[in-house]
């Protein structure tokens, strides 16, 4: 009985989707981050009614469109072709056509090049319409157990360790939960850097494969999480890292300072490494320099 009702609801939804025309505008349509059922009726109506569906990867978007019987043929708009594809989409919009912009997963413009197209549309006086829905950022934040009254999405951290630690140092005093995207193969290094710069005692959560079959949310301090992923196999899937706001208890532990010193010393002379560590931790350069020499002498 439940299956019959579900199928009936799906058919009704499809019928309503096909019946709604769109006014000319640029529509920013959120798509599922994993589970294809996490899409709104309004999003489906918009995708079905748009004159043009622009997306990062036509193969990914085709799977979603086929799942809901939408016959639109998507066109590519991504980082590598934005300079050519963007003007064509603006031309279509100026010609009175409707364009739906989607990312491979989640809300457009979050870590994708869609902001360029939106800027061009606004400059041309074209109406921009958000069609909200799934977001990996908000999904991870709400499930993390960390404060959600103020948060900062910081995207991907730099790949090189020195640059990554400098970026974390900039974010360290921000009085909000920090949210990052990260590659599975860089997760262990990113957490080690976070523990060293932000402090091992800061609360954090790792969201993996959110909304998918093997969804996982692992919580703990940065020190505990860094130690876990340093020993674990490289995880699979999409990763979101949430780090709680700074507290008085989240001061950098001596062990974390040692790791920071050794990491910096791999990229710069001892004196400069001590100076950088002093800037990042608030410690005194002479003491940090002596400590670095001790660590080096100890092997």
191-214 pLDDT per residue, tens = 999 999 999 889 999 999 999 999
97-111, 203-217, 280-294: which has the minimum mean pLDDT?
Answer: 280-294
pLDDT value at position 19?
A: 43
Confirm whether pTM is higher than 0.85.
no
Nearest to 41 by CA among 59, 19, 26, 25: 19
Whether the pLDDT of residue 292 is over 80: the answer is yes
Topology at the third CATH level for domain 2-134: Cobalt-precorrin-4 Transmethylase; domain 1 (3.40.1010)
Report domain extents, the chain.
Answer: 2-134, 137-250, 254-297
pLDDT value at position 12?
A: 43
Whose tokens are 């043929």? That residue is 73
Whether the pLDDT of residue 147 is over 70: the answer is yes
Instruction: Give the separation between CA 37 and CA 197, rounded to whole angstroms.
Output: 39
237-259 average pLDDT score? 80
pLDDT value at position 55?
A: 95
In tens, the pLDDT along 24-47 reads 999 999 999 999 999 999 999 999
**Angle at alpha carbon of residue 31, lines to 118 and 62, rounded to 5°:** 100
30-39, 105-114, 122-131, 183-192: which has the minimum mean pLDDT?
Answer: 105-114
pLDDT value at position 4?
A: 52
Assigned architecture for domain 137-250: 2-Layer Sandwich (3.30)
Regarding beta strands 75-76 and 52-55, do their DSSP bridges make them parallel or antiparallel, or are they unpaired? Answer: parallel
256 vs 116 pLDDT, higher one: 116
pLDDT value at position 160?
A: 95
Please state at what angle helix 161-171 crosses helix 270-281, rounded to 10 degrees.
Answer: 30
158-181 average pLDDT score? 95
pLDDT value at position 283?
A: 74
67-81, 92-106, 183-197, 239-253: which has the minimum mean pLDDT?
Answer: 239-253
Whether the pLDDT of residue 159 is over 70: the answer is yes
């Amino acid at each position: 009985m439940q299956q019959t009702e579900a199928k009936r609801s799906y058919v009704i939804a499809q019928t309503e989707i096909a019946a709604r025309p769109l006014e000319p505008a640029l529509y920013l349509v959120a798509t599922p981050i994993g589970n294809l059922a996490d899409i709104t009726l309004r999003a489906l109506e918009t995708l079905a009614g748009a004159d043009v569906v622009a997306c990062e990867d036509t193969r990914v978007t085709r799977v979603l469109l086929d799942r809901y019987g939408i016959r639109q043929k998507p066109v590519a708009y991504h980082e590598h072709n934005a300079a050519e594809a963007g003007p064509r989409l603006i031309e279509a919009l100026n010609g009175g056509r409707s364009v739906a912009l989607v990312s491979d997963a989640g809300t457009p413009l979050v870590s994708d090049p869609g902001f360029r197209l939106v800027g061009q549309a606004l400059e041309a006086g074209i109406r921009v319409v958000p069609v909200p829905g799934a977001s990996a950022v908000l999904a991870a934040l709400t499930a993390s157990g960390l404060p959600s009254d103020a948060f900062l999405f910081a995207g991907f951290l730099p790949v090189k360790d020195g640059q990554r630690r400098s970026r974390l140092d900039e974010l360290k005093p921000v009085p909000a939960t920090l949210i990052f995207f990260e590659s599975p193969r860089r997760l262990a290094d990113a957490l080690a850097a976070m523990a060293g710069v932000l402090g091992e005692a800061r609360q954090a959560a790792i969201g993996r494969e959110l909304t998918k079959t093997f969804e996982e949310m692992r919580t703990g301090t940065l020190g505990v999480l860094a130690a876990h992923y340093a020993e674990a196999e490289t995880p699979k899937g999409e990763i979101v890292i949430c780090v709680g706001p700074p507290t008085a208890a989240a001061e950098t532990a001596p062990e974390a300072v040692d790791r920071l010193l050794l990491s910096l010393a791999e990229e710069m002379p001892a004196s400069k490494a001590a100076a950088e560590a002093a800037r990042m931790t608030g410690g005194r350069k002479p003491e940090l320099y002596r400590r670095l020499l001790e660590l080096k002498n100890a092997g």
